[in-house]
Amino acid sequence: MLSFQDFFTACAGKWTTERIYHYVQEGQVERSYTEFRVTTIAPNQKQQ
């Protein structure tokens, strides 16, 4: 198991997520796409 610090270090990078919502009664479909980047911060930035 990763330490707390190693977990967040491993999460750094580009993440994307795609979701599809189905509204059966209305016969509609809604698509959602999100893209974000996770970066680590330096120890001195943690105090800000």
Residue 47 confidence (pLDDT) = 77
What pLDDT, on a 0 to 100 scale, did the predictor assign at position 23? 97
* pLDDT tens-place string over residues 1-48: 999 989 989 999 999 999 999 999 999 999 999 999 999 988 888 876
Domain with 18 in it: 12-39
Assigned token pair, 40: 């680590």
Report how many domains make up the chain: 1
Assess if residue 3 is contained within a domain: no
* Alpha-carbon span 4 to 9, nearest angstrom: 9
Is 28 within the bounds of a domain? yes
pTM: 0.59
> Which residue from 8, 16, 43 is spatially nearest to 32, judged by alpha carbons?
16
45 assigned to some structural domain: no
Residue 17 placed within a domain: yes
